[in-house]
Amino acid sequence: MKNLTITENVSTAAKRDIFELQAKIGSFTQGDGPEEAFRKYRLTRGVYGQRQPGVQMIRIKLPFGHLTADQLVRIADSSDKYATGNLHATTRQDIQLHFVKLADSPQLWADLEDANITLREACGNTVRNVTASATAGVDPDEPFDVTSYAQAFFAYFLRNPISQEMGRKFKIAVSSSEKDSAFAFMHDVGLIPKLGQNEQGETIKGFKVLIGGGLGAQPFSAQVAYEFLPADQVIPFTEALIRVFDRYGERTRRHKARMKFLLNDLGLEAMLEKVKEEWTALKNKTFPVEELSFAWQNLAESEPASREDILVLADTQLEHSEKEIFQKWLTTNVFEQKQKGWHGVYLRVLLGDMHSDTARKLADLVRQYAADDIRVTVNQGYLLRFVKAEDLPALFHELNTLGLAEPGFDSTADITTCPGTDTCNLAISSSYGITRVLEVMMKEEYPDLIYNNDIKIKISGCMNGCGQHSAANIGFHGSSIKNGKLVLPALQVLLGGGFTGDGIGLIGDKVIKLPSKRGPEAMRVLLDDYQTNSFEGEYFNQYYARQTKNYFYQLLKPIADLSTVQDDEYRDWDHDELFKTEVGVGECAGVMIDLVGTTLVEANEKLGLAHEMLEVGVWADGIYHAYNTFITGAKALLIGEGIATNTQYGMVKEFDENFGQVFYPNAAEGDKPFAEIVFSINKNEPTEAFAREFVAKAEQFLNQVKGYRENQLSDNPLPALQELVFGQDS
Domain ranges of the chain: 1-123, 125-287, 303-402, 416-570, 591-726
pLDDT (mean) for 119-144: 96
Please give the pLDDT value at position 722.
38
> Which pTM does this prediction carry?
0.91
Q: pLDDT category, 502, cuts 50, 70, 90?
A: low
- pLDDT, tens digit, 9 for 90 and up, residues 36-75: 788 889 999 999 998 888 899 999 999 999 999 999 999 9
β-pairing, 95-100 vs 56-60, is antiparallel
Q: pLDDT category, 91, cuts 50, 70, 90?
A: very high
Whether residue 216 is predicted with pLDDT greater than 60 in this model: the reply is: yes
CATH number of 416-570: 3.30.413.10
422 versus 546: the higher-pLDDT residue is 546
Q: pLDDT category, 541, cuts 50, 70, 90?
A: very high
Q: pLDDT category, 426, cuts 50, 70, 90?
A: confident
Whether residue 6 is predicted with pLDDT greater than 80 in this model: the reply is: yes
Quick one: CATH architecture of 591-726? Up-down Bundle (1.20)
CATH number of 303-402: 3.90.480.20
Q: Considering only the top CATH level, what class is 1-123?
A: alpha beta
Position 114, amino acid? D
Q: pLDDT category, 235, cuts 50, 70, 90?
A: very high
Homologous superfamily of domain range 125-287: Sulfite Reductase Hemoprotein, domain 1 (3.30.413.10)
Please give the pLDDT value at position 730.
30
Please give the pLDDT value at position 668.
74
Whether residue 257 is predicted with pLDDT greater than 50 in this model: the reply is: yes
Contacts 24+ apart (CB under 8 A), 692-695: 692/614, 694/622, 694/623, 694/626, 694/627, 695/607, 695/610, 695/611, 695/614, 695/622, 695/623, 695/625, 695/626
- pLDDT, tens digit, 9 for 90 and up, residues 624-650: 999 999 999 999 999 888 888 889 999
Question: Alpha helix locations (H) across 465-568?
Answer: 519-533, 540-547, 549-556
pLDDT (mean) for 276-282: 96
Whether residue 476 is predicted with pLDDT greater than 80 in this model: the reply is: yes
Common-topology check for domains 125-287 and 416-570 = yes
Q: What is the DSSP letter of 714?
A: H
Q: What percent of the chain has pLDDT over 70?
A: 95
Task: Mark 410-437 as b/e (b = at least 16 C-beta within 10 Å).
Answer: bbbbbbbbbbbbbbbbbbbbbbbbbbbb
- pLDDT, tens digit, 9 for 90 and up, residues 487-501: 999 999 999 999 876
β-pairing, 131-132 vs 172-174, is parallel
- pLDDT, tens digit, 9 for 90 and up, residues 138-188: 999 999 999 999 999 999 999 999 999 899 999 999 999 999 999 999 999
Whether residue 723 is predicted with pLDDT greater than 60 in this model: the reply is: no
- pLDDT, tens digit, 9 for 90 and up, residues 648-688: 999 999 999 999 888 988 877 777 899 999 999 999 999 99
Residues 409/417, Cβ–Cβ less than 8 Å: no
Please give the pLDDT value at position 709.
87
Distance CA 331, CA 451 (A): 8
Mean pLDDT, all residues of the chain: 91
- pLDDT, tens digit, 9 for 90 and up, residues 550-607: 999 999 999 999 999 999 999 999 888 888 876 544 333 233 345 788 888 899 999 9
Whether residue 210 is predicted with pLDDT greater than 80 in this model: the reply is: yes
